[in-house]
């Protein structure tokens, strides 16, 4: 390993990798994370990931006209649904919910990206109204928080 002012070189003998070092101040991301919650769901990330991936099969494009809708029908059921010209999907998942019912549209890709990197049995999803960001995070850790913005209807 050979560091310099703006670069670093990794030399393994057969492979050399050079990377530019970036210095600066990062934005205060904690300032954009909601500090309150209108609705909090506790859910299995694998069950939600499977349902959203199935729903995204009905959605053939990234067109905002075809979001995945998350709706709570009661305090222990989340409904994942998608409806397009080629078909409709509706799937129910067991949850634990505190707060108000939700009925929010999201781009499925954003949820899939977050859920694929979480290696936990349960996660918390915090919602703040129909247009507020939601935060996906593990229950027992503060090391990871994924912010997802809803789509307008």
Helix crossing, 45-58 with 108-115: angle to 10°? 150
Phi-psi region of 118 (alpha: psi -120 to 50; beta: other; left: phi over 0): beta
Nearest alpha-carbon partner for 30 in 151, 149, 143: 143
User: Is the CB of residue 70 less than 8 Å from the CB of residue 79?
Assistant: yes
Nearest-angstrom CA–CA distance, 93 and 47? 7
pLDDT digits (tens, 9 = 90+) for 19-61: 987 777 777 777 777 888 999 999 999 999 999 999 988 887 6
**pLDDT, position 123:** 95
**pLDDT, position 69:** 93
Average pLDDT over residues 76-90: 88
Type and span of the H or E element at 112? helix 108-115
Residue 63 pLDDT level (bands cut at 50, 70, 90) = low
Q: What tokens does 41 get?
A: 């769901």
Output the CATH code of domain 34-148: 3.70.10.10
**pLDDT, position 62:** 60
Position 3 pLDDT exceeds 70: yes
Position 67 pLDDT exceeds 70: yes
**pLDDT, position 61:** 65
User: Is the CB of residue 151 less than 8 Å from the CB of residue 59?
Assistant: no
107-129 in b/e burial notation, b at 16+ Cβ within 10 A? Answer: bbebbbebbeebeeebbbbbbbe
Nearest-angstrom CA–CA distance, 35 and 20? 36
**pLDDT, position 64:** 59
Position 83 pLDDT exceeds 90: no
**pLDDT, position 35:** 82
Q: What distance lies between CA 39 and its chain's CA centroid?
A: 16
């Amino acid at each position: 390993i050979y560091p310099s002012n703006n670069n670093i070189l990794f030399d393994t003998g057969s492979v050399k990798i050079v990377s530019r070092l970036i210095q600066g101040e990062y934005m205060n991301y904690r300032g954009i994370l909601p500090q309150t919650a209108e609705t909090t769901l506790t859910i299995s990330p694998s069950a939600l990931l499977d349902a959203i991936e199935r729903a995204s099969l009905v959605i053939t494009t990234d067109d905002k006209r075809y979001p995945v809708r998350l709706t709570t029908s009661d305090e222990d059921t989340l409904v994942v649904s998608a409806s397009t010209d080629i078909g409709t999907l509706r799937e129910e998942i067991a949850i634990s919910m505190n707060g108000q019912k939700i009925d929010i549209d999201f781009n499925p890709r954003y949820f899939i990206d977050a859920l694929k990197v979480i290696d936990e049995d349960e996660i918390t999803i915090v919602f703040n109204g129909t247009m507020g960001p939601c935060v996906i995070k593990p229950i027992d850790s503060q090391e990871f928080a994924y912010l997802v913005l809803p789509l307008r209807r």
